[in-house]
Structure 1
């Protein structure tokens, strides 16, 4: 199989060894320069995170919640009462307890 139209029929140009050597020297000097700049460059900044005061408080509350003891007998008793429909909620007592909890969390107003 013959390959036609190589170099568009133009004569082959000779390779200039001086030009090739110069390109190799240029590449080597660029690599050396980049290696030197990499050595003298300051260390990259480390990522950091800062939490707001309220996020820190929420984290503390969550930790305390997981460490709190659980009265499993009471939980089972309440589950059974809810499932059977015997559990009744007193809305006034619930509202009072919610208001008290909010004042403890967010401060009395």
Structure 2
């Protein structure tokens, strides 16, 4: 969410939740700068900073930590992004029996 705000100077950010039988999906979609296809496999690496955003504050640990925490909970994160169009980060987390 922080990155969506940081890299969407003007435009919109949308958060959606979809519940399925075994998991929940949370989408964060923005109309920000987008992420180049060649960089997408790298953005979850610890301390990775894209040249496209080197002027912005940050150390490149946020997405790494997000993926680690999500993974530790039995989930995963996916990215769909196009430069100049924006990005959607989808987080998939298992549902426990208590959350019905």
Please classify the TM superposition score into its range, dividing by the shorter chain length: under 0.3
Rg (Cα) greater in structure: 1
TM-score, structure 1 normalization = 0.18
TM-score, structure 2 normalization = 0.19
Q: Would you tell me which structure has more strand in proportion to its own residues?
A: 2
Q: Would you tell me which structure has more helix in proportion to its own residues?
A: 1
Query: Which one scores higher on RCO, CA 8 angstroms, separation ≥ 6?
Result: 2
